[in-house]
Structure 1
Amino acid sequence: MATLILTAVGSAVGGPIGGAIGALIGQAADHALFGAKRREGPRLVELAVQTSSYGAQIPRLYGTIRVAGTVIWATDLIESRSSSHSGKGQPGVSTYSYAASFAVLLSARAIRRVGRIWAEGKLLRGAAGDFKTATGFRLHLGGEDQAVDPLIASAEGPSPAYRGAAYAVFEMLQLADFGNRIPSLTFEVVADEGPVLVSTIARALAGEVSGTATLAVGGFAASGGSVRAVLEMLGQAGGAWFAPSGAGLVMRDAAGATVAVADEGFSAEARGVRRTRAVAAIETVPRTVTVGYYDAARDYQAGLQRARRPGAGVRDLSIEVPAVLEAGAAKTVAETMLARAEAGRVRRTVAAGFAAMAIAPGSCVTVPGEGGVWRVADVSIEGMVTSLGLVPLVAASLPASATSGRVSGAVDALVGATILRAFEVAGLDDVPLSAPRMTVVAAGMGAAWRQAALLYSVDDGVSWVAAGATAAPGVIGTIAVVALAAPSTLIDLRGAFEVVLAHPDMALGDADAAGLDRGVNLALLGDELVQFGRAEPLGGARWRLSMLLRGRRGTEAAAGAQAIGDRFVALEEETARTFDLPVAVLGRDVRVLASGVADTAPVETRCVMLGASVVPPAPAHLAYRPEADGSATVSWVRRSRAGWRWIDGVDAPLAEEREAYRVTVSGAGAGGARTIEVTAPSVTVSAVERIGPVVVTVRQRGVFGESPPATVTIAP
């Protein structure tokens, strides 16, 4: 049953701040955002960990930024089971898979879209909008007319629509890749297109704020204990400050307009008012300023940039800016903050005339006899004299160059459509099979393909068997150049195949003699099983295969019968999924369906079950010996589906209920053809039958059928 984790979430940054903010004008602006009043500002780490706590902070998002969000609803794990059987007398195998549906609240204001999604640090959804794991997905953008999500409503009944807040809903996310639990997710959220001025953010958070500040950020997450804390942090990072303007505030920086303090025809000295200058010790200035920020070049992970000054002092200043910046822009912020701190050592107090009473704290002024532009820190009026406390302004630092460091973002590889191959070959070990076996190998057109769900039908689609999922992605391609036929008893050092794999991320490797003896580098080319000792990349996805062992495991009849475009499938235990089927399928086609994450419709193939997995291999070394009476004795060596390696050099194990052969003798003397049933590996052709050429064909009889034929021609 579903569980409503949060029936309400913490308030977002916002609400009226009333009057001026901050110590600049001495009025409080600590309106609480989440519960009790706090002066805490936003922190970088708060966006890195996904939560599901009641009352958790939900930031207001601006620009483009990566956030974890808060899980607000989830179902229990949904279990699915599929069964497969390994043949008659063998126990069935049950495979369990798990999925979950849940919702994640992203932003306390409306957004435009969601880009990439990470799960446990790996991409769940790529930049192209493709999911790497099977899931349903819906995004609610946070409009004021937002409807209740139908899945949540069906599970919970009356439910909130979270109007004005953006959230995402995952439906039946498959959890096999995440340890069968809901993974920790982070989202690339686009709230506003393009960079955003910090003054625009300040104005959105508090309507009383106006003005323009020139620093632009790629994205920003407004959260924390109070609007004041957020605005102060924005001002500190952007070199801006707040000044009263009517009933509200104006956000200013060094690029704003200046006011010239009028001389009014008299000097401060003539009125007995002195100009004073105070310089603080260099030790009051930080030696270093460190800025923490979100770096888009590092998939929005936290970055650090630092500015240093020479000279005395031990104090360091660090500021965390939950904003998306380029490395150079963050370095520029650090250097500008350090330059402002150095300039702030100097403080001027000047006296002006009556007209200066209109100059408010926070204004930028120029003063006769004083160079540069000054910020008014405070104003005092005594009699008819207005005293201005001034702090020098510094021009913005030149853009700094900086690097984001080593960038190792999550690989955004496309999944691509499923490629499916189903075929019947002899068992890949020396244990004879007790039922016909179909082998399935699958991959994808993209490197991120991982699995596809399988179904198969042995009655031409009348009924289907759920067969779990494919094995690990295989190496699949097509034949581009066909090697000429060669005997299976020697290493083919002259012939070579060229194959084109499904995508360039697939790769093949070499094998030495010991590896070939163990059976490595076995591949199906057309209908022939081939081992290759050398795999040479030719560029792109094309490979040349040489040092060939042909006709492996009884497929010598298919050697040289391939055509350009025929299948290439590398056979490895971890990539092959096998199914033991009823004996009744022999002589039929088995239909196989696969459905992967990127498949718009199931992918289908067919496997022709002719018994290659269970019938004996064709007899070997057919030869004849003429006898004195004109007859000929034909003999052969028995082969076995239980002794492919033939290590001891003697007769291979029988692996059948009894030894039996069907021999056909064809020729003019035989009256066309005659069939002989024998139980030993030899037969006699009479002198009469040897009037002309005689063709002798031998098939070994097995439990499930006869072997392919082996043939010898006896000269007259």
Structure 2
Amino acid sequence: MATLVFSSLGTMLGGPVGGAIGSLVGRQFDSALFGPSARQGPRLKELAVTTSSYGQILPRHFGRMRVAGSIIWATELVEHSELQGTGKGAPALTTYSYTANFAVALASRPILGIGRIWADGKLLRGAEGDLKAGGTMRVHTGAGDQPVDPLIAAAEGERYCPAHRDLAYVVFEDLDLSEFYNRIPSLTFEVIADERFDLQTVIGEVIEGIDASVPLDGMAGYSSEGSPATDLEVFEQVMPLEIDAGGDTLFIARERRQEAAITLAEPAAATGDDDFGGGAGFTRRRAPQSDRPAAILRYYDVGRDYQASVQRPSGQPAPGEPATLDLPAALDAATARMLIERTARRVDWSRDRISWRTSELDPGVAPGALVALPGIAGLWRVREWEWRESGVELALERALPTGADAAPLLGSDPGRGNPPLDVPLAETRLMAFELPLDGPSGAPDRARAFAAASGTSANWNGAALYADRGDGQLLPLGASGRTRATIGTARSVLPAANPLLFDRGSNLLVSLVDPDMRLAGADTRQLADGADLALVGEEIVQFAKATALGNGLWRIDGLLRGRGGTEAAVDTHGENESFALLDARLTALDSGTLGSDPSRQVVALARQDTEPFAAPVLLGGITLRPLAPVHPRTVMSQDGARTVSWTRRARGGWPWQDEVDVPLVEQAERYLITLGAFDAPLAAWATDTPSLTIDAVTLTRLAMLAPGSALHVRQQGTHALSHPLLLCTLP
């Protein structure tokens, strides 16, 4: 008796005459297909994570697949330390970071390259090949002549380092682990193994003397973890395969290679008690319906980053527990829906069975052959035959009519995924400045330096900040953090205005570094509480209204000018000045490390930046500089003497309270009054009270010496002089 070697595949070997030879040839293919080991890998599973264990199966991948791989080499984590805050009076802080060196094996056959990489579900490498974490990556495609990896060779010694030829793997060198809780993350890789592949690619690499040029339409990728027989069984679930092992070559095709169906002779009658059909010579029956009809197809959906997905056929579910077909292939939803629809229709037709007895020997009537029966419609496929005394008995099943398994035009939905954004890393942008003393919470003898670090898009992971004191040496200031400050460029020139009045007539156009950034207005109470503070050039302003003009351009109106003691800058604006929103997203800097040199800069460098971004420190010294006095007054006495007086202000004392003197934050109250130029005054006075009396004789002499000269007063603080206040002009 000759039967199907692979009964689940629906195909067979030679015919009645060549059956003996065919079965012998079939045995050699049995050994090649099934292999000596009975161990099989999983068919389909949720996306696995990178592991490292001895004896783990390393699959063969075809097309494009997302795989986990296996770690085959690694070193201990590398610790990096950086000392920060070494300025005078500042506490020293040592920060630690860790990197990893390791190799991950991906495929047991050569590949073309690597696409995207996911780490803990986030993109570690984008489709454009950009690595989104610090470090480098090298891809070894598994070529037969690939060299050893230099990092592994340096660590292990070249004589102990294999080249892993015919094995595709990647090596990470100094991969930054700061975003993965200082551990090697769970990695999955998009392996690009072939541009195109078919069944011959999958089976032909393992078995010689095979012809399996079967197109795998709609399959973007496939992973093989078992024997070739397992692969054939997997594909046969959704596409019937015909196998012919009657010769020296194993032929596998979607349809048997026959020019036409073989017409059988009339059935032969039998008289034996155990013979079927009796005088008719044949019997026809319908096989019982499977108690587990194929109703679910699981696959990897390319539209959902290769996540496991399911599709079901249309129609009312059949009785019984539905069977799930696992197809470890990358498909789109439409292809998967078509495959399960065809499978469900094909199974129902094959339930029609006929047992047929013939007295003629035809070598072409072999298991898998298509035959036609006299007096019975349709085509039939030979499943098995047996040569008995009463004739050749054939077991037949109904072959599908043309188009019977054609899937209707039905919609398919893979479900909504939540893929991580794959956008280029943003470029770093930076502003650096000092800010005025912050009342009781600030240290009056220490500068308040800040950096407004940001990126040109939301895909910005922060930057390392350094201080350049003017000598080119970079001193670490720490990391900026990932929160982006709102910064941009002023596209119009802010006109001069009175800092004592609410400026309703002026407005400013601001272009933010990222069009997705936003500004918000504030009401009067919020302005009084310090909302919407912004630095424009070297003037601090507040704005009550912000209007979006599109593409990151904003217009701000309703301005309060010269805030925080910057009234001297209200008439110094120029074109393309920097703009920064002064809020909680600023990064505090160590002023000791930054120094006080006028040419000092803050430098930012992120891993995606091609070169560092440097910014000067604006508002230099404003924290320690006293505020300029206000409210000048002049009184002439009867004897010709002139008394000038003023009202002092104190750093950090921003609330103006009636009848309450602002506390002084300087070591002593002192003032310097000068006549004429500041660098070469005609006369100078020092006082520790907010007034000065010039007698008539001195006043007359100075008026004759330098008529029209201006008299200014500046407060002498602990660390600096304030800006001058014009008291009067001599006649």
TM-score by length of 2: 0.85
Aligned residue in 1 for 2:718: 703
Q: Distance in 2 between matches of 1:140 and 1:391?
A: 50
State the shift of 1:614 in Å: 1.9
Match status 1:431 vs 2:438? no
Match of 2:350, as an amino acid? G
State the shift of 1:386 in Å: 5.6
Q: 1:32 to 1:175 in 2, by over 3 A?
A: farther
Deviation readout 1:651-688 (Å, 9 max, x if unpaired):
32222111112122349xxx984222121222235564
Aligned residue in 2 for 1:268: 267
Q: Distance in 2 between matches of 1:207 and 1:703?
A: 91
Match of 1:276, as an amino acid? T
State the shift of 1:121 in Å: 0.9
Q: 1:647 to 1:155 in 2, by over 3 A?
A: farther
Q: 1:354 to 1:35 in 2, by over 3 A?
A: closer
Please list, as runs of the form range in 1=range in 2, the aligned pairs for 1:475-624 lying within 5 A after superposition.
475-581=486-592, 585-607=595-617, 610-624=620-634
Match status 1:317 vs 2:323? yes
Match status 1:334 vs 2:335? no
Q: 1:672 to 1:58 in 2, by over 3 A?
A: closer
Q: Distance in 1 between matches of 2:76 and 2:52?
A: 15
Deviation readout 1:616-670 (Å, 9 max, x if unpaired):
2222333444555555433333222232345677332222111112122349xxx
State the shift of 1:500 in Å: 1.0
Q: 1:510 to 1:250 in 2, by over 3 A?
A: farther
8 Å Cα contact 1:294-1:323 kept in structure 2: yes
Q: Distance in 2 between matches of 1:359 and 1:39?
A: 34
Q: Distance in 2 between matches of 1:191 and 1:377?
A: 37
Q: 1:518 to 1:260 in 2, by over 3 A?
A: same
Aligned residue in 2 for 1:4: none
Deviation readout 1:234-253 (Å, 9 max, x if unpaired):
22133435443524533332
Residue among 643, 653, 661 paired with 1:643: 653
Residue among 364, 373, 387 paired with 2:394: 387
Give unmatched runs, 5+ long, in structure 2: 13-25, 271-278
8 Å Cα contact 1:661-1:678 kept in structure 2: yes
State the shift of 1:379 in Å: 2.7
Residue among 400, 421, 429 paired with 1:419: 429
Match of 1:267, as an amino acid? E
* Number of residue equivalences: 688
Deviation readout 1:120-141 (Å, 9 max, x if unpaired):
1111111222222211111111
Match of 1:192, as an amino acid? D
Which secondary structure does the structure 1 equivalent of 2:169 belong to?
A: strand
State the shift of 1:327 in Å: 0.5
Give unmatched runs, 5+ long, in structure 1: 1-18
Aligned residue in 2 for 1:160: 162
Please list, as runs of the form range in 1=range in 2, the aligned pairs for 1:158-307 lying within 5 A after superposition.
158-194=160-196, 196-207=197-208, 209-254=210-255, 257-258=257-258, 260-263=260-263, 266-268=265-267, 274-282=281-289, 284=291, 286=293, 289-307=295-313
Which secondary structure does the structure 2 equivalent of 1:44 belong to?
A: coil
8 Å Cα contact 2:50-2:188 kept in structure 1: yes
Deviation readout 1:345-364 (Å, 9 max, x if unpaired):
21233455645432332334
Q: Distance in 1 between matches of 2:34 and 2:613?
A: 52
Aligned residue in 2 for 1:408: 418
Aligned residue in 2 for 1:92: 92
State the shift of 1:146 in Å: 1.3
Deviation readout 1:5-33 (Å, 9 max, x if unpaired):
xxxxxxxxxxxxxx965665596958799
Q: Distance in 1 between matches of 2:35 and 2:250?
A: 23
Match of 1:460, as an amino acid? D
8 Å Cα contact 2:650-2:664 kept in structure 1: yes
Q: 1:357 to 1:85 in 2, by over 3 A?
A: same
8 Å Cα contact 1:69-1:186 kept in structure 2: yes
Greater C-alpha Rg: 2
8 Å Cα contact 1:277-1:349 kept in structure 2: yes
Match of 1:466, as an amino acid? P
Q: Distance in 1 between matches of 2:411 and 2:68?
A: 30
Q: 1:485 to 1:203 in 2, by over 3 A?
A: same
Match of 1:659, as an amino acid? E
Match of 1:236, as an amino acid? Q
Q: 1:297 to 1:685 in 2, by over 3 A?
A: farther
State the shift of 1:42 in Å: 2.1
Identity %: 36
Deviation readout 1:450-501 (Å, 9 max, x if unpaired):
122233232421x332333223332221111233233333443332221111
Q: Distance in 1 between matches of 2:36 and 2:72?
A: 19
State the shift of 1:513 in Å: 4.1
Which secondary structure does the structure 2 equivalent of 1:481 belong to?
A: coil
Q: 1:283 to 1:389 in 2, by over 3 A?
A: closer
Residue among 668, 671, 674 paired with 1:658: 668
8 Å Cα contact 1:657-1:703 kept in structure 2: yes
8 Å Cα contact 1:588-1:609 kept in structure 2: no
Aligned residue in 2 for 1:127: 127
State the shift of 1:159 in Å: 1.5
Q: 1:224 to 1:632 in 2, by over 3 A?
A: same
Q: 1:137 to 1:206 in 2, by over 3 A?
A: same
Q: 1:683 to 1:23 in 2, by over 3 A?
A: same
8 Å Cα contact 1:455-1:464 kept in structure 2: yes
Q: Which moved more, 1:401-410 or 1:431-440?
A: 431-440
Q: 1:348 to 1:41 in 2, by over 3 A?
A: farther
Which secondary structure does the structure 1 equivalent of 2:245 belong to?
A: strand
Q: Distance in 2 between matches of 1:407 and 1:648?
A: 62
Q: Which moved more, 1:103-112 or 1:618-627?
A: 618-627
Q: 1:40 to 1:361 in 2, by over 3 A?
A: farther
8 Å Cα contact 1:262-1:355 kept in structure 2: no
Q: 1:363 to 1:505 in 2, by over 3 A?
A: farther
State the shift of 1:372 in Å: 4.2
Aligned residue in 2 for 1:458: 469
Deviation readout 1:682-705 (Å, 9 max, x if unpaired):
223556469665633222222221
8 Å Cα contact 1:282-1:312 kept in structure 2: no
Q: Distance in 2 between matches of 1:360 and 1:659?
A: 114
State the shift of 1:273 in Å: 5.4
